[in-house]
Amino acid sequence: MPRMMLNDEYWSKLEKILLQESIYNKRNLRMTVEGLLYRMRVGCPWRDLPRVFGCWNSIYKRFNAWSLSRKWLNVFKALAVDPDWEWRFMDGSYVKAHQHSAGAASQESQAIGKSRAGNTTKIHLAVDGYGLPVEFGITGGEVNDCCAAPDL
């Protein structure tokens, strides 16, 4: 069985936030969230999620639905309470997008930019004085950190 990311104390706090976001408390909710965190930590494809977390397709569908409805963004903001505003730092990181990532039929902006390196996305993250994330943004890879800073 893979190592769990959340102890009982953290899970009880996160569970309350999830319920406020109208994420239903099914009996496998904790394992679904653990599966999501496992995938983010390990970086494995969805199909390679260990079976102990549940069906990979169910976990993917929940993650996708929660992302599209901005529930994860609201969870992030609820967890980023009481930041230390004495210092605020911001940095960006490039992510090379897959060659097939652009051009899909979608009405939403996907924050994919063109550069010499190909299709890229940039993740901008602002942290407080303790180094804890308080805000983030995603832009095309060609966007400079100075241009994204006012939004953070």
Q: What is the mean pLDDT of residues 13-39?
A: 87
Rounded to two decimals, the pTM is 0.68
Q: How far apart are the first and last CA of the chain?
A: 39
- Residue 1: per-residue pLDDT: 53
Give the tens place of pLDDT for each residue, 63-115: 998 888 888 888 888 887 777 777 777 777 767 765 655 555 555 555 666 66
* 59 burial level (CB within 10 Å; 0-12, 13-18, 19+): buried
Of 14-18, 93-97, 135-139, the range with the lowest mean pLDDT is 93-97
- The full set of domain ranges for the chain reads 8-79, 89-151
